[in-house]
Amino acid sequence: MIGVEKASKKKAFNIDAPYHVTGQTKYLDDVPELQGTLYAKVFYSPIAHGHIQHIDASKAAALVGVVRIFSNKDIPGENQVGGIIPDEPLLAEKEVHFIGQPILLVVAETEEIAIKALQLIEVEIEPKEVIVDPRQAFYNESLLSKSRTFNIGDTDKAFDNCKYVFEGTTESGGQEHVYLEPQGAYAIPQNRGSMLIHSSTQGPTAVQRTCARILGVPMNQVEVDVNRIGGGFGGKEDQASPWAAMVALAAYLLQKPVKYILERKEDLQMTGKRHPYKSEYKIGLNEDLRIIAYKATFFQNGGAAADLSPAVLERTLFHATNSYAIPNVNVTAHCCKTHLPPNTAFRGFGGPQGMFVIESAIHRAARELNVSVVELQEKNLMADGLELPYGQIVEECQAQKCWHQSKSNFDFKQATQEIEIFNQNNRYLKKGIALMPVCFGISFTNTPMNNARALVHVYSDGSVGISTGAVEMGQGVSTKMIQIAAQGFGVEADKIKLENTNTTRVANTSPSAASATADLNGKALQDATRQIVERLNVVVLEELKIEKDADIQLKNEWVYVNGVQSDLPWKDLVQKAFLKRVNLSAKGHYSTPRIHFDKTKEKGHPFAYHVYGTAILTTTVDCLRGNYEFDSVRLVHDFGASMNTAIDLGQIEGGLVQGMGWMTLEDVVYNEKGELKSNSLATYKVPDYYTAPKEIDVQFLETEGNEMAILKSKAVGEPPLMYGIGAYFAIANAILAFNPKATIPYSAPMTTEKVLLALYS
């Protein structure tokens, strides 16, 4: 195996790296196609809201090479793909609710023919009123789910006792996932009416459940297989399911393999994105600049169906106070139904949207009071013992430690002075600096989802096969699973084979999401390896004829007794166990202990633990053009005891830059007709080599690490995205250095156009 053997001796390696750089990694489109495979394409609604009057697909159906055109009427099961709330048809019935909503499914002998067929389909849709603004939807009482309020203390009374009170509004934009591999699936009919589906999904079980529902068959008739996917970022947590359901439907009815991988343009048009939010806040401080009261209302733009919006909404409330200790908090969120594609999970899952509002409120308050933002943030940082608005008591808090280490290790004071001097000496170039603290809760906020399983086989030659519910999407979870199994058996990583994620080996999985995948699946895997090791230990006692209370250890592919190497290597031990008919397979299970949440009271202990960190971001703004660059981002992050520094560092850098993109460049634009104007990667700008910070310096906060984290290595997927929020405020501070009277709009993304307008406001 390339590269794996030597690298695995280190704590910083990625088993996929050699295959990525040599182009050998296998994605959905690399699954070899069977002879007779057909290709599907969706015909979707050209308007955002309306009543379907008439559909004529006869010309398309007559085209040579078109096999069938399916509508909702062909669905043998239920025409429903809604995950949380059943409010989303797979194929439209009488009404359409967004541009890009699937109406018909064309199946043809080639993709080219399917594309031609789409152009021959005629529809008449009577247009209805289109709403794209979440506030307008709210005032029309157009909601996707129940509004929620988290409350602690008595906020209204507390405002009366505040010396300073400020109110304002903010907004944050959507964000396109831009996973490198678009959505897609390949369905292959199997024995006795069952179906195998290769899917580019974060949630194999979600795909299985949705396909079974569409086909009207039990879940055991649908097998979903995922080797790895080319990025997800939340976009494939639930929104991979419809495409799988479509190919499953066609494959089931035609009894032929059917494949559909979306083109980028289709993917941009038809799939949901990060939720745009409009928000209102009220913040109250006492004489000592302690934040005493905070009130906020969040209007979430959910799009045309619920999808994961109610869960995203919940996490906005959980993270509404970010890293701050505020005794009186009252925050309300509304899940607003608009005529956009249903918005969905995106790294951070509503948390970033909530944090942007409190950071805006603090920035605004500091400005009004003419004190430094940093001072205000610092004065209000949380600490152990704090009761969070949702009832969880803060433990092992690293917020202050990260903050102060960040300031001292990166010499914040000197950096600030240098910036002041630079700004004095430059008229049209101004630098800005901002600190961004992050506190992010780890666990699915929906408690029942926090469980996982793993299947382990030790083969008679001493090699090991492992299966878990984790989906590799570039985040490095495969490497982490291999590390855990290798450590569990005391063998080298090259002895471990990680199997595809498959619903027949590991069932009822939660999606790979919520930063919790390595924790949940890793702990399940440890449970399985532990069971096998316990059985092997009995064999060791018999073979080596030693005392029952001897300390047996498996390491370096050898058996150690009381710390001394025995004459029994791993390979022989396994062989002996096999001959003694010992069970060398095990199924492991894990469900996060301690967590609970009562939605009727909106109180509980929903998170296994929190992840902390503080970033310092520095930018230079060109005050003639409104352009900006990021000079540096320096941060201290609480990894716990990182089990793989290369992978974890990659997650920090990627998350940070993705968050900065959301705050600065990435502008999802829909017009009032619900048309996506940023509908290609030419009009939607993601960060690149030139726009990424010139320097990223990540320091590891050395801590014990939390027992609830796998090998005490804390979850790292989502928390760093929120460091990117600091980008907004670094730019705002540079603008204020140019024009102290500038109006800061607290409207993200801070595109160069907005910067220019603010500079001269």
Which positions are annotated as active-site residues? Answer: 718
**Which residue, 345 or 727, has its beta carbon nearer to ligand LUZ?**
345
Residue 721 binding ligand LUZ, by CB under 6 A? no
Using CB under 6 A, which residues numbered 648 to 687 contact ligand MOS?
A: none
Q: Which is nearer to ligand LUZ, 445 or 479 (CB)?
A: 445
Question: The sheet that has 564-569: what strands, in order across it?
Answer: 552-555, 558-561, 564-569
- Piece in contact with ligand MOS (CB under 6 A), picked from 341-349, 561-569, 634-642, 659-667: 341-349
Kindly tell me which of 155 and 450 has the beta carbon lying closer to ligand LUZ. 450
For ligand LUZ, the binding residues in 332-351 under the rule CB under 6 A are 345, 349
> 470-499: which residues touch ligand MOS (CB under 6 A)?
none
Is the four-CA dihedral 178, 179, 181, 182 of positive or negative sign?
A: negative
- Are 734 and 628 in contact by the 8 Å Cβ rule? The answer is yes
Site for ligand MOS, residues 124 to 183, rule: CB under 6 A? none
Instruction: Determine, following the binding rule CB under 6 A, whether residue 446 of this chain makes contact with ligand LUZ.
Output: yes
Residue 514 lies near ligand MOS (rule: CB under 6 A): yes
Binding mask 233-262 for ligand LUZ (x = CB under 6 A): -x--x-------------------------
Tell me whether the omega of the peptide bond preceding residue 749 falls within 30 degrees of 0, making it cis.
yes
Q: CB neighbours of 23 closer than 8 A, spacing ≥ 6?
A: none
- Whose tokens are 């080797």? That residue is 227
638 binds, among ligand LUZ, ligand MOS, none (CB under 5 to 8 A by kind): none
Q: Which is nearer to ligand MOS, 241 or 405 (CB)?
A: 241
Assess 608 for contact with ligand MOS (CB under 6 A).
Answer: no
Report the DSSP beta bridge partners of residue 51. Answer: 95, 126
User: For residue 620, what are the CA distances in angstroms to 10, 92, 360, 432, 720?
Assistant: 39, 49, 20, 6, 22
Pick one of 88, 171, 181, 237: the residue that binds ligand MOS (CB under 6 A): 237
- Vertex 44: Cα angle to 40 and 47 (nearest 5): 170
Q: Which of 44, 349, 558, 607 binds ligand MOS (CB under 6 A)?
A: 349
Q: What is the DSSP string of 4-34?
A: HHHHTTSSS--TTHHHHHTT----GGGSPPP
Q: Judged by CB under 6 A, does residue 315 bind ligand LUZ? A: yes
Question: Quick one: how far is CA 381 from the chain centroid?
Answer: 26
273 binds ligand LUZ (CB under 6 A): no
What long-range pairs does 145-148 form, CB within 8 A, spacing at least 24?
145/84, 145/85, 145/306, 145/309, 145/310, 145/313, 145/335, 146/310, 146/335, 147/332, 147/333, 147/334, 147/335, 148/313, 148/314, 148/317, 148/332, 148/333, 148/602
Q: Which residue has 């942007």 as its token pair?
A: 356
The interface partner of residue 202, options being ligand MOS, ligand LUZ, none and the CB cut-off 5 to 8 Å by kind, is ligand MOS
Please, are residues 697 and 597 in contact by the beta-carbon 8 Å criterion? Answer: no
Quick one: tokens of 694? 């010139």
CA atoms of 455 and 525, how far apart (whole Å): 7
User: Residue 599, Cα to own-chain centre: how many angstroms?
Assistant: 23
- Shortest distance in whole angstroms from residue 203 CB to ligand MOS: 8
Task: Give 214's strand partners.
Answer: none
Asked if 513 is part of the footprint of ligand LUZ (rule: CB under 6 A), the reply reads yes
Give least dist CB 286 to ligand MOS, A.
Answer: 37
346 binds ligand MOS (CB under 6 A): yes
Interface residue with ligand MOS, options 234, 462, 490, 674 (CB under 6 A) = 234
Name which of 527 and 718 has its Cβ closer to ligand MOS.
Answer: 718
Q: Which stretch binds ligand MOS (CB under 6 A): 129-137, 342-350, 404-412, 722-730?
A: 342-350
For ligand LUZ, the binding residues (CB under 6 A) are 234, 237, 308, 311, 315, 345, 349, 444-446, 513-514
Given the rule CB under 6 A, which residues bind ligand MOS? 202, 234, 237, 345-347, 349, 513-514, 718
